[in-house]
Structure 1
Amino acid sequence: MANVVELSVPKSNSKIRVQTGLFINNDFVPSVDNIEPIRVYNPSTEEELCTVTAASAKDVDIAVAAARKAFRETWGKNVSGFERSRLINKLADLMERDKQTLAELECLNNGKPVKIARDFDIGDSIGCLRYYAGWADKILGQSIEIDHKTKIAITHPEPVGVCGQIIPWNYPIQMWAWKVAPALAVGCTIVMKPSEITPLTALKLSELVKEAGFPPGVINTIPSLGSVGGLALAAHRGVDKVAFTGSTVTGRKVMEAAANSNLKKVSLELGGKSPQLVFASADIEQAANWAALGILYNTGQDCTAGSRLYVQDNIYDKFVATLAAKAKELVIGDGFDERSGGGPVVSKTQYDRVWSYIESGKKQGARVIVGGERRTTPGYWVDATIFTDIRPDMKIVEEEIFGPVLSVGKFHTEQEAIDLANDTTYGLAAGLHSTDQAQCHRVSSALEAGTIWINQYNVLYNNVPFGGKKQSGVGRELGSHALDEYISTKAVHWNYGENIEWPL
């Protein structure tokens, strides 16, 4: 039997009980190789929370075998869409019941405020499960007329099989739901590899999977180092599809490992350096609200973070002053305090990375107008930081930072704004703010990104597809498009009347 830990919840007498073993075949089990466990920390205090079992390559093999057995015997084509829908909805019910506990656990391990985790991440995740539960009995094929007297063709959308899913640390619960829900809806089985930095909520969700009544092996959870579990799943010949969310550098390794093993199906949601454009006709107050949300939500730890902001020159000074005032209002602090709108960055490694970019911006001559100073208290705190006087060749302008750091530049013409926005190797998202409808159409059409926001930012819906262009990935999540990532379409050609003479 694997270990169980009880974690104390600050400002209350309650404790959260978490199983810390590998979740395989609906049981929490130790590693067969008994390798060194993963140390899990609280980023708000820098204190160790607990250790969790780390999967070895042999454990990955065991988890994949469990998922394969379930796919062949108790899931896949063996379970109706109605039953898949019922179980997914049951899982959503249990998440609803345990919303507060999950939010508190997310705060302890990830650092994000409880109210943000509870009301946004988890609320959206429950909605995601319910959305795909609604799809489970609507996975339809086609009948295609060939010759109505003698032949017909029929298409069968089938689950692709065993899916390796690798999720990041910035949205541990939400990315779990985005990956799990469409895969379950079409009948795939799953081996889930959470980030080694934030494994606790994936383990807690595994308890709910068992309670909901999913057959053993349908969902397996294997915390591990990325170099072990993640790449092992990508390279595993028993895995039919791999879905990855994370950095572009790691995404390339995942795709290479998948190609070199069995050419499995791959979807990648990768990094971004997303632009926001503010035109002279914009509502300055509202555009500043959205621009602040675009970079400061989740403490900037967001693939779509609007980290490059370009403002038309004739409103530049007024807009920047308005934006700076809003950034100063955000409270980045204790996640168990309802006043906090942001928490720490997730780890010491990420903290050092973000501060290296802030120091680089200063060294290369950008001007800090908000933030830019370190706190002396424990915790991986980075306050909202805004740079002006930027150049295109600065690291803070070119590279993904993944922290609450914004670079603000100016433009004169519409075409100049478009050129600045598209001057990046990424293409995940972009935003524009304008009340000129013709301009909105022109600019949104010209921007090179998978998601474009007009007069808003960082708002996603479970029924709208999401994904990137260029080095921001391949494939789509959310909406009906995500189902296609987990389906293999079989074409059946049926001859019921035509005979041929032989030999030809």
Structure 2
Amino acid sequence: MSGTQPSGGASGGANSGSGSGSAMRPAERALLASLPTGLLIDGEWREASDGGTFVVEDPATGAALLAIADATPADGEAALAAAHRAQAGWARTAPRERAEILRRAFDAVTARAEDFALLMTLEMGKPLAESRGEVAYGAEFLRWFSEETSRVSGRYATAPDGRSRLLVLKRPVGPSLFITPWNFPLAMATRKIAPAIAAGCTMVLKPAALTPLTALLFAAVLEEAGLPPGVLNVIPTTSAGRVTGPLVRDPRLRKLSFTGSTEVGRRLIADAADQVLRVSMELGGNAPFLVFEDADLDQAVEGALLAKLRNGGEACTAANRLLVHERVAAEFAERLTARIAAYPVARGTEPGAKLGPLVDAGTRDKVHELVESARADGATVALGGRPVPGPGYFYEPTVLTNVPADARILREEIFGPVAPIVTFADEAEAVALANATEFGLVAYAFTRDLDRGLRLAEELEVGMFGLNTGIVSNPAAPFGGVKQSGIGREGGFEGIEEYLETTYVGIADPFRG
């Protein structure tokens, strides 16, 4: 894998935030040295047009990992121009050929699972076990959409009055811009890129500046799998607005897909209106986690650990508010606190690590600010509640009880390992509390009452619902939210439709005359 190599290479030698004292290992150095560090534009790895670079850091140590090219607006324009030039030929490429590229990419990502897992742990911080899970999840989008590629179909029908025939065709939307977040560096890329490849769309990918290395490795794997030049262009940058803003206003772009905060999503939707772009938006969440009085508490605690602490709480699907029936709240809180207290906090590469660092100092400080705000509102800190001293951006796993229903921490996305517990008296109050937010991505509920579960599925204002499970993400299922949590769906049968336009052809009656 070629690329522009930074002067001085990767640095190491810093200790983990957990105090384990582990310096960067030879395998880590070797992986970083093998990565492309340039921009991928029209099938070539190149430096930024002004020669600029930026450094990617290890959030467990604060040490530099690698310097990579920092794209400029001119580089963004070149990437879109390449995607535009490649679009017509790529759209005519046989579906089976596109499918085989995706399948080869799936095989390659799976074969290099340890490389991808280690790289994500280094640049994002999550424990290796979770990174391996993300590799399996992210790769599955490649396999799923390889199977969907040849199933894109239309229809031929007789008009109701019998005087004409209706032909309905599907065709690619066209050049697409993807802006992905830092928290799932592989899965958020594959969830967008795989259906676009399947549908016949070319792409420009702007990965998050905090975690761009995984995207660069994945782009190199797609090249090796046979993806033609210009179909995927990758432009990491620290100037996201300056680079992507002109692309959104460029008439050659036909689709914008963004995963990130609702605040940024609103601005992008407004900008996309000028070109009437197709948009997919996967935005913020404020997921309620409901535990009813008849729940299996062991199962509910396990579900809460998954829904709250997966990815260190840095997930839009994380349980943000734990709403527990007043009859079982004390026992649930006691069990959950005992389990969370046993979670080792360490650099993600350390054996047994279950919680790594938060991604940067700003994220850690925001989490602590929310905890302190809840404390001031009258919440009880049952566990944790402080940043971990030392290098890196670690935060203690935290449980809050007696949280007032109007506390700020229940209104804002926490994005950290903090579990605030609120009580409710009955199902009606639980639903009202759950729906009392502008967000509507996902909700979770634990109950043995199937009728109640079905009622909740219809009453909760969310795009996804986990019944007696703390995880809902699945490549075969449509991922997305309602209200201010987004527009559109990713994954499932629905995912490829986001990259297809519908054309209707009216045909004169062949039996006329």
Q: Is the 2:48–2:71 Cα contact (8 Å) retained in structure 1?
A: yes
Q: Does 1:392 align with 2:408?
A: no
1:171 aligned to which of 171, 174, 184: 184
Q: For 1:147 and 1:44, locate their aligned partners in 2 and report how far apart those are by CA, in whole Å.
A: 65
Give the secondary-structure state (helix, strand or coil) at the position aligned to 1:206.
Answer: helix
Q: Which residue of 2 aligns with 1:435?
A: 448
Q: For 1:121 and 1:13, locate their aligned partners in 2 and report how far apart those are by CA, in whole Å.
A: 20
Q: For 2:40 and 2:457, locate their aligned partners in 1 and report how far apart those are by CA, in whole Å.
A: 44
2:258 aligned to which of 217, 241, 244: 244
What is the Cα deviation at residue 355 of structure 1?
1.6
Offset from partner CA, 1:236-256 (integer Å, 9 cap, x none) = 322100000000000011111
Offset from partner CA, 1:136-189 (integer Å, 9 cap, x none) = 111001012127976211111101000100100000101001010111111011
1:97 aligned to which of 102, 107, 111: 111
Distance 1:115-1:223 versus aligned 2 partners, 3 A rule? same
Q: Is the 1:162–1:241 Cα contact (8 Å) retained in structure 2?
A: yes
What is the Cα deviation at residue 499 of structure 1?
7.5
Q: Does 1:255 align with 2:276?
A: no
Distance 1:395-1:230 versus aligned 2 partners, 3 A rule? farther
Q: Which residue of 2 aligns with 1:21?
A: 38
Q: Which residue of 2 aligns with 1:71?
A: 87
Q: For 2:163 and 2:328, locate their aligned partners in 1 and report how far apart those are by CA, in whole Å.
A: 70
216-225 or 455-464: bigger deviation: 455-464
1:381 aligned to which of 382, 386, 394: 394
Q: Does 1:56 align with 2:72?
A: yes
Q: For 2:160 and 2:449, locate their aligned partners in 1 and report how far apart those are by CA, in whole Å.
A: 53
Letter in 1 for 2:213: L
Offset from partner CA, 1:284-343 (integer Å, 9 cap, x none) = 111011112211110000001111011111111111101111111222212112311221
Moved over 6 A (4+): none
5 Å-filtered alignment, 1:231-380, equals: 231-260=245-274, 262-380=275-393
What is the Cα deviation at residue 39 of structure 1?
2.1
Q: For 1:105 and 1:474, locate their aligned partners in 2 and report how far apart those are by CA, in whole Å.
A: 31
What is the Cα deviation at residue 391 of structure 1?
1.5
What is the Cα deviation at residue 386 of structure 1?
1.2
Q: For 1:281 and 1:393, locate their aligned partners in 2 and report how far apart those are by CA, in whole Å.
A: 26
Q: Does 1:143 align with 2:143?
A: no
Q: Is the 2:453–2:467 Cα contact (8 Å) retained in structure 1?
A: yes
Letter in 2 for 1:233: L
Q: Is the 2:76–2:244 Cα contact (8 Å) retained in structure 1?
A: no
Letter in 2 for 1:281: D
Letter in 1 for 2:47: P
Q: For 1:166 and 1:229, locate their aligned partners in 2 and report how far apart those are by CA, in whole Å.
A: 11
Q: Is the 1:143–1:153 Cα contact (8 Å) retained in structure 2?
A: yes
Give the secondary-structure state (helix, strand or coil) at the position aligned to 2:257.
Answer: strand
Q: For 2:162 and 2:381, locate their aligned partners in 1 and report how far apart those are by CA, in whole Å.
A: 76
What is the Cα deviation at residue 228 of structure 1?
2.4
1:229 aligned to which of 240, 243, 251: 243
Q: Does 1:3 align with 2:16?
A: no
TM-score, normalised via structure 1 length: 0.95
What is the Cα deviation at residue 2 of structure 1?
5.0
What is the Cα deviation at residue 393 of structure 1?
2.2
Give the secondary-structure state (helix, strand or coil) at the position aligned to 2:328.
Answer: helix
Q: Which residue of 1 aligns with 2:16?
A: none
Q: Does 1:417 align with 2:437?
A: no
Alignment coverage as a number of residue pairs: 495
Q: For 1:427 and 1:229, locate their aligned partners in 2 and report how far apart those are by CA, in whole Å.
A: 30
2:98 aligned to which of 70, 80, 84: 84
Give the secondary-structure state (helix, strand or coil) at the position aligned to 1:307.
Answer: strand
Q: Is the 1:193–1:229 Cα contact (8 Å) retained in structure 2?
A: no
Letter in 2 for 1:458: I
239-248 or 203-212: bigger deviation: 203-212
Q: Is the 1:22–1:221 Cα contact (8 Å) retained in structure 2?
A: yes
Which runs of 5 or more structure 1 residues have no equivalent in the other structure? none
Give the secondary-structure state (helix, strand or coil) at the position aligned to 1:135.
Answer: helix
5 Å-filtered alignment, 1:87-166, equals: 87-118=101-132, 120-146=133-159, 151-166=164-179
Q: For 2:443 and 2:160, locate their aligned partners in 1 and report how far apart those are by CA, in whole Å.
A: 48
1:182 aligned to which of 184, 189, 195: 195
Q: For 2:209 and 2:325, locate their aligned partners in 1 and report how far apart those are by CA, in whole Å.
A: 43
Q: Is the 2:181–2:188 Cα contact (8 Å) retained in structure 1?
A: yes
Give the secondary-structure state (helix, strand or coil) at the position aligned to 2:55.
Answer: strand
Q: Is the 1:115–1:338 Cα contact (8 Å) retained in structure 2?
A: no
317-326 or 358-367: bigger deviation: 358-367
Q: For 1:127 and 1:497, locate their aligned partners in 2 and report how far apart those are by CA, in whole Å.
A: 45
Q: Is the 1:289–1:326 Cα contact (8 Å) retained in structure 2?
A: no
Percent of counterpart pairs with the same letter?
34
Q: Does 1:44 align with 2:60?
A: yes
Give the secondary-structure state (helix, strand or coil) at the position aligned to 2:322.
Answer: strand
Letter in 1 for 2:506: H
Distance 1:151-1:352 versus aligned 2 partners, 3 A rule? same
Q: For 1:218 and 1:396, locate their aligned partners in 2 and report how far apart those are by CA, in whole Å.
A: 43
What is the Cα deviation at residue 349 of structure 1?
1.8
Q: Which residue of 1 aligns with 2:461?
A: 448
Q: For 1:21 and 1:221, locate their aligned partners in 2 and report how far apart those are by CA, in whole Å.
A: 9
When the two chains are superposed, the root-mean-square deviation of aligned CA atoms in Å is 1.7
247-256 or 146-155: bigger deviation: 146-155
Q: For 1:416 and 1:170, locate their aligned partners in 2 and report how far apart those are by CA, in whole Å.
A: 33
Q: For 1:467 and 1:96, locate their aligned partners in 2 and report how far apart those are by CA, in whole Å.
A: 26
What is the Cα deviation at residue 498 of structure 1?
7.7
Q: Is the 2:3–2:35 Cα contact (8 Å) retained in structure 1?
A: no
Q: For 2:425 and 2:162, locate their aligned partners in 1 and report how far apart those are by CA, in whole Å.
A: 66
Offset from partner CA, 1:2-49 (integer Å, 9 cap, x none) = 522565793445511111111011111112233x42221100001122
Letter in 1 for 2:48: S
189-198 or 381-390: bigger deviation: 381-390
Q: For 2:165 and 2:110, locate their aligned partners in 1 and report how far apart those are by CA, in whole Å.
A: 46
Q: For 1:467 and 1:107, locate their aligned partners in 2 and report how far apart those are by CA, in whole Å.
A: 26
Q: For 1:148 and 1:374, locate their aligned partners in 2 and report how far apart those are by CA, in whole Å.
A: 71
Give the secondary-structure state (helix, strand or coil) at the position aligned to 1:368.
Answer: strand
